[in-house]
A and B are shown apart, each in its own frame.
Chain A
Amino acid sequence: MPSSVFPPRSAQAQAPDVAAPARLAAAIESVAAADPDRVAIVTAAGLGPDRRRAVSYGTLASDVAVMERRLAEAHPIGVIARSGEIAALVAIVAACGRQRVPLALVAEDSRDLVGELRDWSVCGDDLAVPSPPAQGRSRREYDSSSPQVVVATSGTSGPPKLVEHSWDSLLAAARLAEQWHGRGWILVYDGTRWAGTQVWLQAILTGGRLIVPASRDPDCVARAAADEDVSILPATPTLLRRVIASADSDAVGRMRLDRITLGGEAADGQLLEQARALFPTARVTHVYATTELGEVFRVSDGLPGFPAEWLGRALPGGAKLSTRRDGELLVQLSRDTAEVATGDLVERRGERYEFSGRRSDTIFVGGAKVFPRRVEDVLRAVPGVVDARAYGLPSAITGEIVAAQIVAVDPLPEGVTPENLRAAALAACRSALEAHSVPRVLDFTRKLFTNPSGKVPRRPVGR
């Protein structure tokens, strides 16, 4: 969709003269005023025209107004927005922002954390605002300086926890050049998680269409992207790998992506090459962000990791990178803030630093370290292997041993049997890895388990 159809008033809504907390509501209102029927959100996409449900900017603006009125009446201490219908979530967030009501975005699997916010009102799809509990406090005036936004972490590095942000940090990444306005964005993340908020905020703040596929099944994602004219695909490398390897090839062929934004996991060189070959016009960007830090940097040169010269220098956003002796990446967001240990390990390879995995994912075999990502990269490069996951299995003899699961192409090429594919995978590992890094347990699986953030966990599942 050409950017010229984007109403200029919406661009003004993004301008710094609208305070960050009010910016989302203002952006929705300005698009609705100029073009009320413009589609803002499509849900249940990818199952055909009869199943999709579209919500216009006009409807979204009305919902925001309803929600703002109810907030003004109920005066909640804060609002916990529950995931459900994404349109309701957008309306709740926009209204809380402009009304300066503290807001918490809590995914379904982080419900245990809500106890920390016990006086807050839980709002869902019906946009009702329950009054604060009788024994609780009520609030007449909200902090006019900086209302908080609380987001639950995805739990990649430990149990999920609540992290407080300002509206400025929530919207920091949502300033896009005009060429990206009015586009179709696909949302494959939970809308209440950091990664998900970044996708729908960028889509709605730029007058775009947010396309929510009916499921994360690769076929459904590819059909939703093709049918709904999606041009921007933010996804984890795991999901993109699945779409490339196993989604309906007709749908993949009809996808017209201009931008692929990878995040949540490190992207390997093989995947970046495949993405470039299949979507030659798309700009492939890898974003390094965490729920705690927000976006730290992005790399768009098509190579894995980041340039080695970035270490020790202030990056465009002001962040500074360094490493510990063991290779853990440290981030200092600004001069006034402390260094944060990210838990991500990096290794220098030539002129790049490449991600070798999470510190917590490291497998220790007889005292020697194994990075599961290296094992997975080797396995994925074996012809006939679509995806792989390596993890440590506890062992009384060696502490841990390396185990791996592989997903084979379906159907297997003629003449290839599961037995000889498995032998080829082990042979590839023996020639590329040290002896203790070669998987001692190698199983086939039809699909790798992914957690609610769309990432593949590397600790044993179900043990």
Chain B
Amino acid sequence: MTSIDGATRDIAAEVREAILAVYRDTARPPRDTPGSALLGGDLGLDSLDLAQIIVLLERSLGVDPFRDARGSAPHPPIRTVDHIVALYAATLAARS
């Protein structure tokens, strides 16, 4: 059985993979993606990029926190890589 920390590490890897896929698909040079990196300011990601990341993560992790959480409490703002990881970890934990 995967520990919570292990699961979070897996999610973080999937999030970084999705961000790199966005850079690749849009022909932009890849950047480092530390957890504290700001999606807009540091990584240069816009709303379309974030929309793509969400579709890619739905494919790899099997959830879309935005759609699955429809009607429930609003999620906290998503400004950094860590925010994305935390949101997916919480959604997956709520599911299991």
Interface residues of A, Cβ cutoff 8 Å to B: 365-366, 393-398, 401, 403, 423, 426-427, 430, 435-436, 438, 440-442
Residues on the A chain within 8 Å of B24, using CB = 423
CB distance from B15 to the nearest CB of A (A): 15
Judged by a CB distance under 8 angstroms, whether B81 is at the interface is no
Main secondary structure of the interface of A (DSSP, over half): mixed
Judged by a CB distance under 8 angstroms, whether B1 is at the interface is no
Nearest chain B residue, comparing its CB with the CB of A394 = B67
Residues on the B chain within 8 Å of A430, using CB = 26-27
CB distance from A379 to the nearest CB of B (A): 14
In the complex where A394-B67, A396-B66, A396-B67 touch, is A401 in contact with B25 (Cβ < 8 A)? no
Nearest chain B residue, comparing its CB with the CB of A440 = B52
Are A401 and B55 closer than 8 Å at their CB atoms? Answer: yes
Judged by a CB distance under 8 angstroms, whether B54 is at the interface is yes
Are A398 and B48 closer than 8 Å at their CB atoms? Answer: yes
Are A395 and B55 closer than 8 Å at their CB atoms? Answer: yes
Residues on the A chain within 8 Å of B56, using CB = 441
Judged by a CB distance under 8 angstroms, whether B86 is at the interface is no
Q: Complex Cα distance A430/B28, Å? A: 12
CB distance from B22 to the nearest CB of A (A): 8
Residues on the A chain within 8 Å of B48, using CB = 365-366, 397-398, 401, 435-436, 440
Main secondary structure of the interface of B (DSSP, over half): helix
Beyond A393-B55, A396-B64, A396-B66, 10 additional contacts (C-beta under 8 Å) are A395-B51, A396-B67, A397-B48, A397-B50, A401-B51, A401-B55, A423-B24, A426-B26, A436-B48, A441-B56
Judged by a CB distance under 8 angstroms, whether B72 is at the interface is no
Sample (7) of A-B pairs whose CB atoms are under 8 Å apart: A393-B55, A397-B66, A423-B24, A426-B27, A435-B48, A436-B48, A441-B52
Residues on the B chain within 8 Å of A396, using CB = 51, 54, 64, 66-67
CB distance from A108 to the nearest CB of B (A): 34
Residues on the A chain within 8 Å of B27, using CB = 426-427, 430
Judged by a CB distance under 8 angstroms, whether B47 is at the interface is yes
Q: Complex Cα distance A401/B53, Å? A: 11
In the complex where A366-B47, A401-B48, A435-B48 touch, is A395 in contact with B25 (Cβ < 8 A)? no
Interface residues of B, Cβ cutoff 8 Å to A: 24-27, 47-48, 50-52, 54-56, 64, 66-67
Are B47 and A397 closer than 8 Å at their CB atoms? Answer: yes
Q: Complex Cα distance A211/B26, Å? A: 48
Nearest chain A residue, comparing its CB with the CB of B24 = A423
Residues on the A chain within 8 Å of B54, using CB = 395-397
Residues on the B chain within 8 Å of A365, using CB = 48
Q: Complex Cα distance A281/B51, Å? A: 49
In the complex where A426-B25, A426-B27, A427-B27 touch, is A401 in contact with B67 (Cβ < 8 A)? no
Nearest chain B residue, comparing its CB with the CB of A419 = B24
CB distance from A391 to the nearest CB of B (A): 13
Q: Complex Cα distance A24/B64, Å? A: 57
Are B47 and A440 closer than 8 Å at their CB atoms? Answer: no
8 A-B pairs with the lowest CB-CB distances in the bound complex, closest first: A396-B66, A440-B52, A397-B51, A395-B51, A398-B51, A401-B51, A397-B47, A397-B50
CB distance from B95 to the nearest CB of A (A): 18
Partner of A398, one of B25, B47, B64: B47
CB distance from A420 to the nearest CB of B (A): 12
Nearest chain A residue, comparing its CB with the CB of B46 = A435
Residues on the A chain within 8 Å of B52, using CB = 401, 440-441
CB distance from A427 to the nearest CB of B (A): 7
Residues on the B chain within 8 Å of A423, using CB = 24
Residues on the B chain within 8 Å of A426, using CB = 25-27
Are B67 and A440 closer than 8 Å at their CB atoms? Answer: no
Q: Complex Cα distance A435/B27, Å? A: 12
Residues on the B chain within 8 Å of A441, using CB = 52, 55-56
Residues on the B chain within 8 Å of A442, using CB = 25
CB distance from B74 to the nearest CB of A (A): 11
A395, A403, A427, A436, most chain B CB atoms within 10 A: A395
Nearest chain B residue, comparing its CB with the CB of A422 = B25
Residues on the B chain within 8 Å of A403, using CB = 55
